[in-house]
Amino acid sequence: FEKADAEAALDYAMHRVVQREGSCRPALLGYSMGAVLALQLACLRPEVETVVADCPFASLDELVRNKLKERYIPSDYLMPFIDYLNRAIYGYSLQEVSPLRWIQKIAPRPIMLIHAEKDRIIPVEDTLRLFEAAGEPKELWIEADVDHCGAYFKDREAYIDRVGNYLDDVFAGKFFQ
């Protein structure tokens, strides 16, 4: 459902901007699951010029497996059932939500990946794997001493400046010189 909602929101926003400005160069920013959704949308929509993804996971299937293991729950037995329920209720398999499998499709459009070094929900290694799999151009920012999606809350002004400067560079064409 989120993907359809995000596509509808992007279509609406682009339509409004085109009406007012005559053209539109969309960028997406997402946090956690929203970061994964932004990456997915960029794969599907070539008009998206860039993505800023803060604390995305690499694979929903792996994330769920690891969370079960952390709680000493036998994931090998439960995962088929969890995946079945997810498909029945939401219409997709957990394996389908794997930015690691499709992040490279975004290139040559730039990507900025952000992650909290001490994230207790999504391991920082997920973003490092995504960064490794992503095509160029790409930028990585690991924020020290913060938990999940904490870079913004640690220093809002610095976060806005850094992301804003990245977006300025994207729209100025600096990644393509």
pLDDT bin (cut points 50, 70, 90) of residue 177 is low
Single-letter amino acid, residue 102: W
Q: What is the pLDDT of residues 54-83, one digit of tens each?
A: 999 999 999 999 999 999 988 888 999 999
Report the percentage of the chain scoring pLDDT > 90.
81
The pLDDT value recorded for residue 75 is 87
Please state the domain extents for the chain: 1-10+27-58+98-170, 60-97
In 32-95, the DSSP E strands lie at 50-54
pTM above the 0.95 mark? no
Model confidence pLDDT, tens digit, residues 24-56: 999 999 999 999 999 999 999 999 999 999 999
How far is the C-alpha of 113 from the C-alpha of 142, rounded, in Å? Answer: 8
Nearest alpha-carbon partner for 115 in 93, 102, 99, 131:
131
pLDDT one-digit tens code per residue, 75-107: 888 999 999 999 999 888 898 889 999 999 999
Cα–Cα distance measured from residue 52 to residue 37, given in angstroms and rounded to the nearest whole number: 11
Do 65 and 79 contact (CB within 8 A), yes or no? yes
What does the DSSP 8-state code read for residue 135? P
pLDDT of 141 over the 70 cut: yes
Superfamily of domain 1-10+27-58+98-170: Alpha/Beta hydrolase fold, catalytic domain (3.40.50.1820)
- Distance CA(61)–CA(19), nearest Å, equals 41
pLDDT tens string 106-125? 999 999 999 999 999 999 99
Supply the angle between the helices 2-21 and 33-44 in degrees, to the nearest 10. 60
So what's the pLDDT on residue 4? 86
